[in-house]
Protein backbone atom coordinates (compact mmCIF):
# COMPACT_ATOMS: atom_id res chain seq x y z
CA UNK A 1 0.00 0.00 0.00
CA UNK A 2 2.83 2.41 0.82
CA UNK A 3 4.44 1.74 -2.56
CA UNK A 4 1.16 2.46 -4.37
CA UNK A 5 0.67 5.64 -2.33
CA UNK A 6 4.15 6.80 -3.29
CA UNK A 7 3.54 5.97 -6.95
CA UNK A 8 0.27 7.92 -7.06
CA UNK A 9 1.92 10.85 -5.27
CA UNK A 10 4.69 10.81 -7.87
CA UNK A 11 2.09 10.68 -10.66
CA UNK A 12 0.36 13.78 -9.26
CA UNK A 13 3.75 15.50 -9.13
CA UNK A 14 4.47 14.55 -12.75
CA UNK A 15 1.09 15.86 -13.89
CA UNK A 16 1.64 19.11 -11.97
CA UNK A 17 5.06 19.37 -13.59
CA UNK A 18 3.43 19.05 -17.02
CA UNK A 19 1.15 21.95 -16.14
CA UNK A 20 -2.04 19.93 -16.66
CA UNK A 21 -3.36 20.29 -13.08
CA UNK A 22 -4.74 23.30 -11.27
CA UNK A 23 -5.96 23.98 -7.74
CA UNK A 24 -9.70 24.28 -7.22
CA UNK A 25 -10.99 25.57 -3.90
CA UNK A 26 -14.68 25.31 -4.82
CA UNK A 27 -16.80 22.84 -2.87
CA UNK A 28 -19.24 20.49 -4.57
CA UNK A 29 -22.08 22.63 -3.21
CA UNK A 30 -20.52 25.76 -4.75
CA UNK A 31 -20.08 24.01 -8.09
CA UNK A 32 -23.68 22.82 -8.06
CA UNK A 33 -24.87 26.35 -7.27
CA UNK A 34 -22.76 27.79 -10.10
CA UNK A 35 -24.21 25.23 -12.49
CA UNK A 36 -27.78 25.72 -11.26
CA UNK A 37 -27.95 22.11 -10.05
CA UNK A 38 -29.87 21.13 -6.94
CA UNK A 39 -27.50 20.71 -3.95
CA UNK A 40 -28.82 17.19 -3.32
CA UNK A 41 -28.02 16.09 -6.87
CA UNK A 42 -25.50 13.29 -7.08
CA UNK A 43 -24.70 12.79 -10.74
CA UNK A 44 -20.93 12.82 -11.36
CA UNK A 45 -21.65 12.43 -15.07
CA UNK A 46 -23.30 15.86 -15.26
CA UNK A 47 -20.77 17.97 -17.20
CA UNK A 48 -22.47 21.22 -16.15
CA UNK A 49 -21.66 20.53 -12.51
CA UNK A 50 -17.99 20.39 -13.36
CA UNK A 51 -17.62 23.27 -15.84
CA UNK A 52 -14.96 25.07 -13.85
CA UNK A 53 -11.89 27.11 -14.63
CA UNK A 54 -8.80 27.92 -12.56
CA UNK A 55 -9.18 30.66 -9.95
CA UNK A 56 -7.64 34.04 -10.79
CA UNK A 57 -4.03 34.15 -9.47
CA UNK A 58 -4.85 36.69 -6.76
CA UNK A 59 -7.74 34.62 -5.41
CA UNK A 60 -5.69 31.43 -5.50
CA UNK A 61 -2.82 33.06 -3.58
CA UNK A 62 -5.24 34.46 -1.00
CA UNK A 63 -6.92 31.11 -0.43
CA UNK A 64 -3.58 29.31 -0.23
CA UNK A 65 -2.40 31.83 2.37
CA UNK A 66 -5.57 31.16 4.41
CA UNK A 67 -4.87 27.42 4.24
CA UNK A 68 -8.15 26.60 2.48
CA UNK A 69 -8.64 22.99 1.36
CA UNK A 70 -8.36 22.41 -2.36
CA UNK A 71 -8.58 19.73 -5.00
CA UNK A 72 -6.30 19.13 -7.96
CA UNK A 73 -8.29 19.21 -11.20
CA UNK A 74 -7.08 18.17 -14.62
CA UNK A 75 -7.21 20.92 -17.21
CA UNK A 76 -8.47 19.24 -20.35
CA UNK A 77 -7.39 22.27 -22.35
CA UNK A 78 -3.78 21.94 -21.16
CA UNK A 79 -3.82 18.14 -21.40
CA UNK A 80 -5.01 18.40 -25.00
CA UNK A 81 -2.17 20.81 -25.78
CA UNK A 82 0.43 18.49 -24.23
CA UNK A 83 -0.91 15.48 -26.17
CA UNK A 84 -1.47 17.34 -29.44
CA UNK A 85 -5.23 16.84 -29.13
CA UNK A 86 -7.37 13.86 -28.15
CA UNK A 87 -8.25 12.78 -31.71
CA UNK A 88 -5.67 9.98 -31.77
CA UNK A 89 -6.73 8.54 -28.42
CA UNK A 90 -9.23 5.73 -28.07
CA UNK A 91 -10.03 2.85 -25.75
CA UNK A 92 -11.36 -0.66 -26.25
CA UNK A 93 -14.69 -1.84 -24.87
CA UNK A 94 -14.73 -5.61 -25.48
CA UNK A 95 -13.37 -5.38 -29.01
CA UNK A 96 -15.14 -2.12 -29.92
CA UNK A 97 -12.82 0.85 -30.38
CA UNK A 98 -14.25 4.00 -28.81
CA UNK A 99 -12.94 7.53 -29.31
CA UNK A 100 -11.87 9.47 -26.23
CA UNK A 101 -14.38 12.19 -25.28
CA UNK A 102 -13.14 13.54 -21.93
CA UNK A 103 -15.20 16.71 -22.22
CA UNK A 104 -18.22 14.69 -21.07
CA UNK A 105 -16.94 15.00 -17.50
CA UNK A 106 -14.94 18.20 -17.83
CA UNK A 107 -12.03 19.10 -15.58
CA UNK A 108 -12.33 16.24 -13.07
CA UNK A 109 -10.82 16.15 -9.60
CA UNK A 110 -7.76 13.88 -9.55
CA UNK A 111 -6.59 14.47 -6.01
CA UNK A 112 -7.03 16.51 -2.87
CA UNK A 113 -4.63 18.39 -0.63
CA UNK A 114 -5.53 16.23 2.36
CA UNK A 115 -5.90 12.72 0.88
CA UNK A 116 -3.73 12.69 -2.24
CA UNK A 117 -4.88 10.95 -5.42
CA UNK A 118 -8.52 9.95 -5.86
CA UNK A 119 -10.04 6.91 -7.59
CA UNK A 120 -9.70 8.16 -11.17
CA UNK A 121 -5.92 8.54 -11.00
CA UNK A 122 -5.20 5.87 -8.37
CA UNK A 123 -6.92 3.14 -10.38
CA UNK A 124 -4.91 4.06 -13.51
CA UNK A 125 -1.67 3.83 -11.52
CA UNK A 126 -2.72 0.61 -9.74
CA UNK A 127 -3.78 -1.08 -13.00
CA UNK A 128 -0.43 -0.28 -14.62
CA UNK A 129 1.61 -1.27 -11.55
CA UNK A 130 -0.19 -4.63 -11.34
CA UNK A 131 -0.11 -5.35 -15.08
CA UNK A 132 -3.90 -5.43 -15.35
CA UNK A 133 -4.96 -6.33 -18.90
CA UNK A 134 -8.78 -6.23 -18.48
CA UNK A 135 -10.93 -4.00 -16.28
CA UNK A 136 -14.49 -5.15 -15.56
CA UNK A 137 -16.73 -2.67 -13.75
CA UNK A 138 -20.19 -1.10 -13.77
CA UNK A 139 -21.50 0.93 -16.68
CA UNK A 140 -21.79 3.93 -14.37
CA UNK A 141 -17.98 4.21 -14.55
CA UNK A 142 -17.82 4.11 -18.34
CA UNK A 143 -17.54 7.92 -18.77
CA UNK A 144 -14.53 7.97 -16.41
CA UNK A 145 -12.63 5.81 -18.91
CA UNK A 146 -12.16 8.80 -21.21
CA UNK A 147 -10.30 10.76 -18.51
CA UNK A 148 -8.36 7.66 -17.50
CA UNK A 149 -7.24 7.13 -21.08
CA UNK A 150 -5.99 10.73 -21.16
CA UNK A 151 -4.04 10.07 -17.95
CA UNK A 152 -2.57 6.87 -19.38
CA UNK A 153 -1.36 8.82 -22.42
CA UNK A 154 0.08 11.66 -20.32
CA UNK A 155 1.92 9.26 -18.01
CA UNK A 156 3.00 6.79 -20.72
CA UNK A 157 1.02 3.91 -19.21
CA UNK A 158 -0.62 0.97 -21.03
CA UNK A 159 -4.38 0.95 -21.63
CA UNK A 160 -6.26 -2.18 -20.56
CA UNK A 161 -9.33 -3.56 -22.31
CA UNK A 162 -12.57 -2.54 -20.58
CA UNK A 163 -15.93 -4.18 -20.02
CA UNK A 164 -18.68 -2.13 -18.43
CA UNK A 165 -21.55 -4.30 -17.27
CA UNK A 166 -25.15 -3.36 -16.54
CA UNK A 167 -26.16 -2.51 -12.98
CA UNK A 168 -28.84 -3.84 -10.72
CA UNK A 169 -31.43 -1.09 -10.26
CA UNK A 170 -34.30 -0.60 -7.85
CA UNK A 171 -37.92 -0.07 -8.87
CA UNK A 172 -37.19 3.65 -9.47
CA UNK A 173 -34.24 2.94 -11.76
CA UNK A 174 -31.64 3.95 -9.15
CA UNK A 175 -28.60 1.71 -8.80
CA UNK A 176 -28.13 -0.31 -5.63
CA UNK A 177 -25.39 1.33 -3.57
CA UNK A 178 -23.93 0.50 -0.17
CA UNK A 179 -23.84 4.17 0.79
CA UNK A 180 -27.63 4.31 0.36
CA UNK A 181 -28.16 1.20 2.49
CA UNK A 182 -29.48 -0.63 -0.57
CA UNK A 183 -30.42 -4.28 -0.52
CA UNK A 184 -27.47 -6.63 -0.98
CA UNK A 185 -27.06 -9.46 -3.49
CA UNK A 186 -27.08 -11.91 -0.59
CA UNK A 187 -30.42 -10.53 0.64
CA UNK A 188 -31.89 -10.77 -2.85
CA UNK A 189 -30.73 -14.37 -3.23
CA UNK A 190 -31.98 -15.28 0.24
CA UNK A 191 -35.29 -13.65 -0.69
CA UNK A 192 -35.71 -16.12 -3.54
CA UNK A 193 -34.27 -14.25 -6.55
CA UNK A 194 -32.37 -16.71 -8.72
CA UNK A 195 -28.87 -16.11 -10.03
CA UNK A 196 -30.28 -16.13 -13.57
CA UNK A 197 -32.84 -13.48 -12.70
CA UNK A 198 -30.15 -11.32 -11.14
Q: How confident is the model at residue 1 (pLDDT cuts 50, 70, 90)?
A: very low
CA distance 23 to 117: 13
Q: What is the pTM of this model?
A: 0.79
pLDDT at residue 47, rounded to an integer: 42
The span from the CA of 76 to the CA of 85, in Å, is: 10
- Tell me the HSE value of 89 on the side-chain side, using a 13 A CA sphere: 24
Residues 58-94 as b/e (b if ≥16 CB within 10 A, e otherwise) read eebeeeeeeeeebbbbbbbebbbeebeebeebebbee
pLDDT bin (cut points 50, 70, 90) of residue 40 is very low
pLDDT digits 0-9 by tens, 144-169: 999 999 999 999 999 999 999 988 88
List, for residues 6-34, the tens digit of each pLDDT value: 888 899 999 999 999 999 988 767 666 65
Amino acid sequence: IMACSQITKEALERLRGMGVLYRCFRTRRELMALAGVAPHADDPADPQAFSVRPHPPGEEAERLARGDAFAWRISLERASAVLGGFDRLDWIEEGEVRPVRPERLGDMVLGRKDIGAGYVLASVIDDAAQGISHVIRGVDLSPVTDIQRVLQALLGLPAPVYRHHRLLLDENGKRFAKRDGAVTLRALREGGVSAGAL
